[in-house]
């Protein structure tokens, strides 16, 4: 069987969501024949003339629309910004109208992950609001079931709506063991569903 890619598309400013993306990717690659394709998006600026370089200095390449076309599923990760996803990711999603018109993403599975500074700072609202554009695209949302025991025992991140992490006010909290397991479980679940749905 041909290898299939799952797009792990994320934005991260201070590194927490990037770390989660790598764990989700690890979970994806536990499923035979499934491969994670890590992509990020450039920052956006209120200064219209300011542009990012075409290729990032380090880390994952910037996403293109063809990444969404080619992949069998999507894991979307963003820091929480005022209870919602970060603007750079929203900006990229706002360029996907041509895919929406063609129904390119319709029927593909998607999963969400986020990181916050504070425990009740909006992890769940961010995960839920990140689902909205994906539902408009006809994507099938994959969450985390309570058969994952860490959902009951976590003292920081982790939600049935997706993976999450409490990074702390100084962005210095390591990904806890429960958060780590749930990121991996989310990637594995997404890739398993994609495998079952793929033609
Ligand atoms: C403009 C802005 C808004 C933020 N809003 C929230 C928020 O609503 N709740 C929260 O807990 N943290 C908030 N944060 C903190 C980030 O979500 C948190 O530091 C996150 O872990 C950053 O992820 P990253 O390291 O991948 O960039 C905000 C940060 C910024 C810069």
pTM for the whole thing? 0.97
Looking at the CA of residue 10, tell me the nearest atom of ligand 1.
26
Looking at the CA of residue 19, tell me the nearest atom of ligand 1.
26
pLDDT band per the 50, 70, 90 thresholds, residue 47: confident
Decide if pLDDT at 53 tops 90.
no
pLDDT tens-digit series, residues 13-28: 999 999 999 999 999 9
Quickly list DSSP for 65-118: HHHHHH-SEEEEEEE-BTTB--HHHHHHHTT-HHHHHHTTTTT-EEEEEEEESS
Report pLDDT for 1: 57
Pocket-forming residues, ligand 1, beta carbon under 6 Å = 12-18, 79-83, 115-118, 121-122, 167, 171
Decide if pLDDT at 51 tops 90.
no
The token pair that represents 80 in the structure block: 């929480």
């Amino acid at each position: 069987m041909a290898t299939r890619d799952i797009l792990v598309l994320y934005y991260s400013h201070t590194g927490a969501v990037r770390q989660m993306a790598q764990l989700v990717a690890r979970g994806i690659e536990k499923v035979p024949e499934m491969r994670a394709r890590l992509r990020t998006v450039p920052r956006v600026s209120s200064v219209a003339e300011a542009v990012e370089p075409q290729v990032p200095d380090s880390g994952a390449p910037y996403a293109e629309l063809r990444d969404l076309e080619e992949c069998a599923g999507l894991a979307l990760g963003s820091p929480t910004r005022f209870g919602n996803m970060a603007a750079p990711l929203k900006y990229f999603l706002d360029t996907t109208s041509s895919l929406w018109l063609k129904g390119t993403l319709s029927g593909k599975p998607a999963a969400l992950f986020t990181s916050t500074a504070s425990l009740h700072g909006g992890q769940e609202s961010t995960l839920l609001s990140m689902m909205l554009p994906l539902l408009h695209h006809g994507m099938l949302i994959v969450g985390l079931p309570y058969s994952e025991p860490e959902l009951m025992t976590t003292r920081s991140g982790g939600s049935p709506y997706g993976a999450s992490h409490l990074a702390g006010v100084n962005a210095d909290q390591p990904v806890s063991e429960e958060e780590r397991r749930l990121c991996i479980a989310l990637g594995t679940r997404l890739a398993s569903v994609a495998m079952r749905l793929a033609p």
